[in-house]
Structures are given as structure tokens and as C-alpha cells.
Structure 1
Amino acid sequence: MIAENQARTGTCRRASKDYREPVRPYRRDVWTRTIVDHVSARAPELRNSLAVDPHREITLVVKICLDWSISRLQGTLTIEDIDRLQAVLASWAGDGIGIDTVLHGVHEGFRAGMDLMFAQRRSTTSDEVRAVTGAVLELLRVVTATVGKSYVREYRALAIEHQVGVHTLTSALLRGRPTSTMATTFGALVAERYHVLAVSMPSHPDEENPDLNGQVVARRKLRRVQAALALHTRAAPLSLLSVDGGTILVPCAAGDTDTLTDELVEKLSTAAQVPLRVATVVADAADVPVAVGHAHELLDTADQLGRAPGVYRFEELALQYQLTRPGEARDRLAGQLAVLDDHPELLETLRAHIGTGLRRQATAKLLHLHPNTVDYRLRRVGELTGLDPSSSTGLWYLRSAMIARAGTSCEPR
């Protein structure tokens, strides 16, 4: 690419004879020292960030760039130096030096280098100005791109390493086998207690858009949620998530309230751009595997009952949870509504009446019926099931039967 640019632009051919003559070693050394001193003085944050040998590392980068510029002007350009530069920059990224710090140092180095190149001549022609400026701008482009690529590659590698570590630690917690050694290795701490969140993440509307790639939209939704989760600075959550949901473990702290979990779920819903349905329980680290099972069963209960998105806790759905547990009692209770299978309008009316809080007028409005029709259908429910919706006992059994029926309807056949 560099050689092609050189051949295409012909910049080197426009350079004067003086620029194409070899630069003596002593002059290169003087220029190198001058640029290094300038960068060290004008970009102290870079110098202070290099923990091993700042002077040597800055000198190495300056020599690479200076040699590139001189070779570029003299028509003897090779790309090996850029490979060396990329290796140095990758190590800086790995050491945690900010890319803005590096780029500031690069720009200060170019400023000093330009001054030196023009100062070597008492007068310069327009061709010489174009030659030097073209070489410097091309080098700046190459170096800036190299910095960006080096940092992206290094951060991507670090992110993958961190992701693997977090995944391993989370999996160990879910299996009940976390170790302090594992946590230390991955730079995390195993908390004494966790908020265990079972998460249901619905599809984003754009996933069904025929003009868009639904899988890409879903992955972007997941990445937004993971990014929002990473910004939860109060405690570092662990998670195993897919585009449909999953499990999140949030370390408990003294003084935690339900509000904190609600706020986190609200932030994640905002990031996903769809409302999440979440069930949460609290458990000791050793009990996380059992708690995860309970949380997801509680989430299934909320799903089966058609509950709205939001956060659900065990005490809110304890009765519903118990009624949907597999067993003969649940099956018998759910079976009391079997006689309504041939009368779907009666089952719909009963469900709507319970959903409106037993308000006759509201039920009629919801179903677009006359209130007398609602009364008739509820009487028919009582006649067929033997459970009178107008009595407290009959209504209690009917509501329980509907909950139990929701539990059986979602089981695999």
C-alpha cells in the first residue's frame, strides 16, 4: 500500500537532490535526541506512563518514524519499520496507556520533526516543501492508522480474555464450584451473597423487519445490554446472556434495597430498547445453583401468567409459583376447567373478569359485550364447573385453577 502510494503520487521524484542525499548518522542521532527531548517535555503523560524505560521506548519509536521519513524522501522505503512500530504500540496498549496519550505524543513528535526537516536548509523550494510535507502527512496517516489498529487488536484480545475469564467464573458459580484462585486469576472477587436475576429479553421490533437482518439486530441488542451491565460500577455483575435472556449475578452489599435491582433492570431495559421481565432471589454464593433454578422457575411462572414486564420477587408470586408446581394436585385443579375447552368464550370471559378485578362493567367494555351477556357467561361457567364465580370460595378455586392450568399449558408434551 505504501509503495503503491509512493508510485502513484510520485512525491519522492519531486524531492530535491539535497533531500535525496543520504542523511549522515550523526545528524540522525541529533534529530532523534531533539525529537525525544521535545516529546518528553511536551507530552509528559506519555513519558510518565511508560514504566520500564521511557527514554528508550520513545527513542525507539522516534527512530522508526525518522528512518521511515528519510527513506521515503530518498526513495528507499521499506515496510519492516512499520511492523516494528506496530509491535511497540501493541505493548503500550497492553500496558494500559491511553490511546489519546499516545496520539498526543505522536503529534508532538511530528511537530518537532517538521521543524528539524525544514531547518536543515536555509531556503527551500516549493518542490522541497511539497516533498517533505507529503512524506510527513503520509507517515502521520500510517502512524495514526497503526496506533488505531494496534489498540483495537490489543483491546479486542484483552476483551476476549476477560470475557472468557468472566464466563469461566460465572459458570463455576452456577455449578457451585468457585475458587478464590480462579477469581484472583481473572481479577474478580467472589461475593458472599448475590442477587440472582433470571432475565427474559423479548425480541426487538426491528428483528421482525424484513428489510433488516434480524440476527444482527438481536446481537446489537445483546451488546447494548452487556455494555450497560459493564457500566454498573457499584458492583461488578457476572452474567451469562443470550439474545433471549439468561442469568445475571449481582454481588450483594450491606444496605442493599430492592430499589437498586429495579434501577438496574430499568437501565438494562433502556439499553435493550425493549422492556425486560426479570425474576430475582437472593442467595449465598454456595447456594447460587439452587437459587438460579428457583429464579428461572419464578420467571416461567410470570411468563405463564402473562405478567407485564418488570421485576418479580418470590414473595410476590409465592402462591402462583406453588400452584404451578408439577404434581397430582395441580393437575386435578387445572382439570376443573377442562369442561370449558369446548366453550372458549366462557374461558375468555372468566379470564377477563378476573383480570379486571371482578368489575362487571370493565369486563363488558373490554370484551365489547353487554353487561348482561357477561352475567350470563359467568353463570354458565358456574353451571359447567360446579364453581360459582359469584361466591368467594368458588372464585378462589377458579382463580387457582386458571393459575394451575397456565402451569400445565407451558409444559412440553
Structure 2
Amino acid sequence: MPAEFVTGFPEALAEISLSCRALTRGERESRRVLGEQAADAGYGLRELTALHLAAAHRAWSRLPGVAGARDAAELRRAGAAVLAAVESGVAALAEGHDRAQRHAVRRLEESRKAFVDDLLYGRSDPGRIAEQAEGFGLRLADRHVVAVAAAGRDSPGYDGRHPLLRRVERELAGRFGDHDALIAAKDGRLVCVAPTTQQAILDAFVKLIAGARSDPDAQGARVAVSRPHSGAVGIVRSYEEALSALDLADRLGLPGAVLNSADLMVFPVLMRDRAAMADLVGTVLGPLSGARGGAQPLVETITAYAAAGYVNAEAARRLDLSVRALSYRLERIAALTGFDPDDSLQRYTLETAALGARLLNWPALPL
């Protein structure tokens, strides 16, 4: 380690051995600055401390206040002042070193956050984003899958210091060592970008999130997984697919801790022509608004009947109704809409309209 990082320390100790004073504020600040410089140069605090202690040890017998002490009392006073100065100087070094480390971590976090923003939103020059990606272990030429974990409704979401993010990073590092996946917090969610060649990392991320739903840190989280796509543009597309899956799951009230965007592809197709879907909902289900209690209970009945495979007993159980009450509701649906839930073709129209109603949040919102 260069001797420049101990500059001025032996001289200060020599003067202190005579005056028995403490280190001045300026002297302590000079040690802090040297501590920062050493950290920026890549030297550890242990090396820096050892350098100063060694310098103090070498200078000890030549310190004027020590070598020239006339009696034991003077030697004790000089020795105590020098040791206190060494302690104060080393503490100042540690403060400066820690300060530089915190700044470095902050700069790295800011750089990482900016990179994640550029990567997931696709708003940076492709060449520059590819260069940055290599520094974070991503090779954008590969095919990647993106998993996005969202916290429960009552949770404030996840940030870069959330315990769940730290736990996931620790678990993946312990299990896979150096890997090419990017784990980050983004807009209150946790994101994992992993190449398809390292599917095990993505699976582990999903399992950790899904398995921790009851944990206070997870706050009822669930995770959506995109389809694989290639390149930087593919990562943006995968990210949007995962976000869309989470949004659809919330709007449709879908159960489950893990969502695969491939399983939900039918819903964007249904909503591609929003006007046509609104027309279908209004035409088919609009008459249900005239029922006692409104349309909502009858729309829920259509949904539950379809989810139960059109088995009356199972649908009644899901709705917490008697089979007789369910049959009455089905009769009312057929009478009001003109579509019979027990007719194979007409039930498909009712089911599609009920899906559209959930996507459009009807009847809570007007079409």
C-alpha cells in the first residue's frame, strides 16, 4: 500500500508527544480524506489501519516526547496522548473509508436503477444499453424471460432495500453463485430478467416469491412470467407481458400465486377491439340490469357456472347457494338475456360476455 496514505501522521504524533494535545479537527479531517482516497483506490480498511499502526510503531521510540521524557510520569503522559491520537486518527480513517464506500454503493445503485429503467422501457440507444448490460451480467443477444412479482393490495410495494429483495438475492447467489440474471426492484415490484439457458434461476425466483406469500416480507405477493423473447426489444416485450398478466389477474380476480402470460393470451385478443367487446356486453348482459339486485350477482353466476364446468352442484358450492337457488338464477339469466346457459353455443356467448364484463369492470363502470 503506498506510503502516501500515511502522509503527515508520524509528524503529527511527534508534535503531540510534546504538547500532549488531541488531534485537531483539521488533522482528523485529513485522515478522513485519506480514508476516502484509499477506498476509491481499492484499498481495504484493514490495510489502511495496519499501515497507520505500523507507522506509529516505527515512530514510537523516536517521538520527542517519548525519547526525551525525564521521568516515568512524563512518559506516561506522552504515551497516553500519542495512543489517544492514534485511536482518534484510525477512527477518522474508518469514517472516511466508510463514507467513500457508502457513496460508491449509492452511485452503483443509481447507475443500476438508471440501467433497469432504460432496459425495461427501451428508451436508450441499443448499442449503449448493450454495453451497460454486459457490466450487469446480461448478454442481450440471448433469449430472455422476465418474471415480475407484485405485492398484495395492502402492501406499499417493494424497493431496493426491501427485505424480500435482499433475501431473494442472497438465496440465488448462495445457490447459483455468479449468474447472468438481473434481479431488481422497479415501480414497487420485483423483476427478474433471466436468459432461457438459465431457467433454473427463474424457477427459483418464482418459487421463492410464491413460497413466501404468507411471510410478512412477501405481503401476499404473486408473480407473473412472460414468454421468452430475444434481444433488448424482447426484454421490453417480456416485461410488458408480465405486467399485463398481473393487471389482468387483478381485474379478473384470478386466483393463484403464479401467472403465465401464455395462459392469458386470449384476454388481450378479446380486448383488442374494445368497442366490439363493450357492444357484446351491453347487448347480451345489459338486460340483467333490470333484475332484482342488479346485474352483478347474475354475472357472477355465469362466471361460476363456467368455472365449475357447468355442473350445478359445484357452481352452487362456489357461490354458497343451494342448487335450487342456482337453478332459479340460471332461469332468470335465460329469461332476461334470451341466452340459455345450458345450450352449448349460447353458453359460450354468455361466458365470453361475462369475461368482457370483468375486463371492463361492468356493471360498476358504464360501458
TM-score (norm: length of structure 1): 0.66
Q: Which of 218, 242, 261 is equivalent to 1:273? A: 218
Aligned partner of 2:140 in structure 1 is 191
Q: Which of 334, 337, 356 is equivalent to 2:285? A: 337
* SS of aligned partner of 1:202: coil
Aligned partner of 1:261 in structure 2 is 202
Aligned partner of 2:103 in structure 1 is 157
Q: How does 1:3-402 map to 2 (within 5 A)?
A: 50=1, 54=2, 56-57=3-4, 59-60=6-7, 62-63=9-10, 66=13, 70=17, 74-75=20-21, 77-102=23-48, 124-125=72-73, 129=76, 132-133=79-80, 136-137=83-84, 139-140=86-87, 143-144=90-91, 146-173=92-119, 174-175=121-122, 177-181=124-128, 183-184=130-131, 187-188=135-136, 189-192=138-141, 193-203=143-153, 223-228=162-167, 231=170, 232=172, 233-237=178-182, 239=184, 241-243=186-188, 245=189, 248=191, 250-254=193-197, 256-257=198-199, 260-267=201-208, 270=212, 272-274=217-219, 275-288=221-234, 289-308=236-255, 310-335=257-282, 336-341=284-289, 342-402=294-354
CA contact (8 A) 1:229 1:237 kept: no
Structure 1 residues 314 and 348: alpha-carbon distance in aligned structure 2, compared to 1, 3 A threshold: closer
Deviation digits for residues 159-185 of structure 1, max 9, x if unmatched? 333233334433443326444455546
CA contact (8 A) 2:20 2:78 kept: no
Aligned partner of 2:175 in structure 1 is none
Structure 2 distance, partners of 1:327, 1:391, is 26
* SS of aligned partner of 1:281: coil
Q: Give the counterpart letter for 1:250 in structure 2.
A: V
Structure 1 residues 253 and 142: alpha-carbon distance in aligned structure 2, compared to 1, 3 A threshold: farther
* SS of aligned partner of 1:369: coil
Unaligned runs of 5+ in 1: 1-49, 208-217
Deviation at residue 90 of structure 1 after TM alignment: 0.8
Deviation at residue 234 of structure 1 after TM alignment: 1.4
- Structure 1 stretch 298-307 or stretch 233-242: which is displaced more? 233-242
Structure 2 distance, partners of 1:412, 1:155, is 56
Structure 2 distance, partners of 1:62, 1:392, is 90
Deviation digits for residues 336-382 of structure 1, max 9, x if unmatched? 22333324332333334444554544444444432211222122222
Structure 2 distance, partners of 1:347, 1:75, is 84
How many residues in Structure 1 have an aligned counterpart in Structure 2?
342
CA contact (8 A) 1:324 1:403 kept: no
- What is the alpha-carbon root mean square deviation over aligned residues? 4.1
Structure 2 distance, partners of 1:172, 1:220, is 17
Deviation at residue 109 of structure 1 after TM alignment: 6.7
Structure 1 residues 367 and 408: alpha-carbon distance in aligned structure 2, compared to 1, 3 A threshold: closer
Structure 1 distance, partners of 2:60, 2:305, is 82
- Structure 1 stretch 266-275 or stretch 102-111: which is displaced more? 102-111
Deviation at residue 264 of structure 1 after TM alignment: 1.2
Structure 1 residues 76 and 141: alpha-carbon distance in aligned structure 2, compared to 1, 3 A threshold: closer
Structure 2 distance, partners of 1:315, 1:105, is 60
Deviation at residue 155 of structure 1 after TM alignment: 2.5
Q: Give the counterpart letter for 2:147 in structure 1.
A: L
CA contact (8 A) 1:278 1:312 kept: yes
Structure 1 residues 76 and 383: alpha-carbon distance in aligned structure 2, compared to 1, 3 A threshold: closer
Q: Percent identity?
A: 18
Structure 2 distance, partners of 1:291, 1:132, is 67
Unaligned runs of 5+ in 2: 173-177
Deviation at residue 241 of structure 1 after TM alignment: 0.8
Q: Give the counterpart letter for 2:348 in structure 1.
A: W
Q: Give the counterpart letter for 1:311 in structure 2.
A: V
- Structure 1 stretch 271-280 or stretch 181-190: which is displaced more? 181-190
